[in-house]
Amino acid sequence: MNWGMENRLRRILDPSDGRTVMLAVDHGYFLGPLTGLERLDRTLEPLLPHADCLMITRGALRRAVPPAMRIPVMLRVSGGTSIASDEAGVSSLSNEALTCDVEDAIRLNAAGITASIFVGTEHERQTLTNLTALVDAGERWGIPVMAVTAVGRQMARDLRYLSLASRIAVELGAHMVKTYFCDGFEKLVEACPVPVVIAGGKKVPERDALELARRAVDAGAAGVDMGRNIFQSAAPAAMIRAVRGIVHDGLTVDEAWQLVEPELAR
């Protein structure tokens, strides 16, 4: 047993139920100052007490998070692309490299490291070998690796594609997978023998986001890695508490909604 690896996994995933509420704020690595993340420090302050894990880049971690923070960090270590070059047709978002070495991840006391894979795109091989390089480093130093099944512009977020990408990530050694929820999600979880968390995706009405979290957990997800549907909500602290209630406390959508609705009405 790799004690460090096991300990880090149990810091990311609550040992009492194997689930996590991971707060994702890494979007700036290719989107720049996304709405809600302009002053990351202010955004994070009311949310961190309710998060099990924080997904973030090293630059943002150093600049916006006090070292006294006790929440485990899932460090985003892939990037090198931007929405600007993608929109200009100069490059594509799938053209990622590894952007942080494992020594710096250790220096930052990362509990996990994460990179995107773009299966079915021109950069499939490059991003899959990014993942395998990371798994080699993670195994060497006892740091779990989470694969993010990113989706190219033309790719459908359906069971066929997402379970293909998720299973490939596991076969290549990923210790966790982050993907999108889709119809038939329980089949994806069944074929993916590591903890699977779902991304929230673009901002939708709060109740819809709670519904998404409930359906994902019911289908076997180990929780969420949610960003925009929390920090872009008009009631972000209520949203993360409600999501937490769904992930850890078995709240129904109606029960969780009762935590959010009054805060939205203020």
Q: Which residues does the annotation mark as catalytic? A: 178
Half-sphere exposure of 165 (CA within 13 A, CB side): 30
Residue 115 is a binding residue for ligand R5P (CB under 6 A): no
- Cα separation, 181 vs 78, in Å, equals 22
Residue 144 is a binding residue for ligand R5P (CB under 6 A): no
- Cα separation, 187 vs 219, in Å, equals 9
When binding is defined by CB under 6 A, the residue of 5, 37, 226, 239 that contacts ligand R5P is 226
Residue 58 or 228 with smaller CB distance to ligand R5P: 228
Residue 192 is a binding residue for ligand R5P (CB under 6 A): no
Residue 31 or 142 with smaller CB distance to ligand R5P: 31
Per-residue x/- track, 7-46, ligand R5P (CB under 6 A)? -----------------x-xx-------------------
Residue 24 or 110 with smaller CB distance to ligand R5P: 24
Closest contact distance (angstroms) between CB of 178 and ligand R5P is: 7
Residue 1 or 19 with smaller CB distance to ligand R5P: 19
When binding is defined by CB under 6 A, the residue of 200, 223, 236, 245 that contacts ligand R5P is 200
- Cα separation, 102 vs 141, in Å, equals 8
Residue 201 is a binding residue for ligand R5P (CB under 6 A): yes
Q: Which of 140, 133, 91, 142 is nearest to 115 (CA)?
A: 133
Residue 227 is a binding residue for ligand R5P (CB under 6 A): yes
Q: Which of 51, 94, 59 is nearest to 76 (CA)?
A: 59
What are the phi and psi torsion angles at 83 (to 5°)?
-65, -30
Amino acid at 117: I
When binding is defined by CB under 6 A, the residue of 162, 199, 213, 246 that contacts ligand R5P is 199
> What is the token pair recorded at 90?
């100069």
Q: Which of 83, 47, 79 is nearest to 64 (CA)?
A: 47
